[in-house]
């Protein structure tokens, strides 16, 4: 019923992404926003308790394992905010339920041809006012160590807020997925190898400005990133990557099948 159309599959193949607008209603998105804020608050609280795991700093990125989620702190300590949390579904049912929504995963099954799906990763990105950019990168490079069936992995990014250039919407470089793994940056520390040197790429970057409730489907090798949030409101997204059925989540000793009974 919600499977990808021929035109969407063609665009995915040629450009590495397609968009579906207004997949979720305002009420559904409001529930996801409440879930996201609840998860963020739980994590801040747990991170400040005695006995919390230590922060591991690599270049300017600060990582910490909190409540079963690998979190990345905002670059600016003053913000006291967490910009990325993975996984998060286990911390709030309003997020977990989204994973099994056929409006989200049926197009994925059309893309990768799988009749069963499992979760590869689920991640919440919360970009507060002043929240830092995500440098240009490709997911495939991060994931190639540890994925059990990388070729089947497809990412979905659900917008919980209207996303604009001003609040740091996602940018993509159309068709960059065709080039496979691209060269990283030599002058950006340890993590530079995972950031794409876009100076070596042809093609104009495209800002994916969308209303809340819309979904972007994208290929693991599509070069993408986002800029600082220059507004006074948060820009939140819920990013779920699916893979073929029966496999472990990325970096976790857990499996999470997608419930497809509503197909
Ligand atoms: O949320 C964003 O702006 C960036 C998302 C992204 O690139 C990622 O999570 O890998």
Q: Are 69 and 43 in contact (CB under 8 A)?
A: yes
> What distance in Å separates the CA atoms of residue 67 and residue 69, rounded to the nearest whole number?
6
Task: Using pLDDT thresholds of 50, 70 and 90, give the confidence band for residue 263.
Answer: very low
Q: Does residue 31 have a pLDDT over 80? A: yes
Residue 194's CB is within 10 A of a number of other CB atoms, namely 15
Q: Does residue 71 have a pLDDT over 90? A: yes
> What distance in Å separates the CA atoms of residue 69 and residue 86, rounded to the nearest whole number?
5
Average of pLDDT values for 197-219? 94
Indicate if ligand 1 lies below 6 Å from the C-beta of 208. no
Indicate if ligand 1 lies below 6 Å from the C-beta of 239. yes
How confident is the model at residue 196, as a pLDDT? 86
Residue range 128-186, pLDDT digits in tens: 999 999 999 999 988 988 899 999 999 999 999 999 999 999 999 999 999 988 877 77
Kindly report the three-state secondary structure assignment for every residue of 44-90.
Answer: HHHHCCCCCCCCEEECCEEEEEECCEEEEECCCHHHCCEEEEECCHH
Most confident among 68-82, 100-114, 198-212 (mean pLDDT): 100-114
Average of pLDDT values for 13-23? 98
> What distance in Å separates the CA atoms of residue 29 and residue 104, rounded to the nearest whole number?
13
Q: Pick the atom of ligand 1 nearest to 226's CA.
A: 3
Q: What is the mean pLDDT of the chain?
A: 93
CA of 50 to the centre of ligand 1 (A): 30
Average of pLDDT values for 236-254? 96
CA of 124 to the centre of ligand 1 (A): 9
> What distance in Å separates the CA atoms of residue 21 and residue 16, rounded to the nearest whole number?
17
Indicate if ligand 1 lies below 6 Å from the C-beta of 226. yes
Q: Are 191 and 59 in contact (CB under 8 A)?
A: yes
CB-based burial of residue 223 (10 Å sphere; 0-12 exposed, 13-18 middle, 19+ buried)?
buried
Residue range 33-55, pLDDT digits in tens: 999 999 999 999 999 999 999 89
How confident is the model at residue 197, as a pLDDT? 84
Q: Pick the atom of ligand 1 nearest to 142's CA.
A: 10
How confident is the model at residue 131, as a pLDDT? 94
- Ligand 1 atom 3: residue of nearest CA: 226
The residues near 41 (Cβ < 8 Å, ≥ 6 apart) are none
CA of 115 to the centre of ligand 1 (A): 27
How confident is the model at residue 195, as a pLDDT? 85
Indicate if ligand 1 lies below 6 Å from the C-beta of 237. yes
Q: Is the peptide bond before 52 cis (omega within 30 degrees of 0)?
A: no
Report the range of poorest mean pLDDT among 12-21, 57-66, 83-92. 57-66
CA of 89 to the centre of ligand 1 (A): 17
- Ligand 1 atom 7: residue of nearest CA: 225
CA of 134 to the centre of ligand 1 (A): 6
């Amino acid at each position: 019923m919600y499977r990808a159309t021929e035109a969407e599959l063609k665009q995915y193949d040629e450009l590495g992404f397609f968009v579906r607008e207004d997949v979720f209603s305002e009420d559904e998105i409001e529930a996801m926003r409440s879930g996201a804020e609840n998860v963020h608050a739980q994590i801040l609280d747990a991170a400040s308790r005695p006995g919390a795991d230590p922060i591991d700093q690599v270049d300017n990125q600060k990582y910490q394992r909190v409540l079963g989620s690998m979190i990345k702190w905002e670059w600016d300590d003053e913000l006291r905010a967490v910009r990325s949390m993975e996984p998060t579904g286990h911390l709030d049912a309003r997020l977990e339920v989204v994973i099994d929504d056929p409006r989200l995963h049926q197009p994925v099954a059309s893309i990768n041809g799988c009749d069963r799906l499992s979760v590869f990763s689920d991640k919440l990105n919360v970009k507060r006012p002043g929240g830092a950019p995500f440098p240009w990168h490709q997911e495939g490079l991060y994931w190639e160590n540890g994925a059990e069936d990388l070729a089947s992995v497809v990412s979905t990014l659900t917008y919980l807020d209207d996303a604009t250039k001003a609040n740091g919407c996602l940018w993509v470089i159309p068709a960059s997925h065709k080039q496979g793994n691209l060269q990283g940056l030599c002058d950006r520390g340890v993590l530079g190898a995972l950031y794409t040197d876009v100076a070596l790429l042809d093609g104009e970057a495209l800002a994916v400005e969308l209303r809340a409730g819309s979904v972007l489907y994208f290929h693991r090798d599509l070069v993408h990133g986002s800029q600082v949030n220059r507004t006074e409101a948060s820009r939140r997204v819920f990013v779920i990557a699916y893979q073929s059925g029966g496999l472990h989540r990325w970096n976790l000793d857990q499996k999470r099948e997608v419930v497809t009974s509503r197909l």
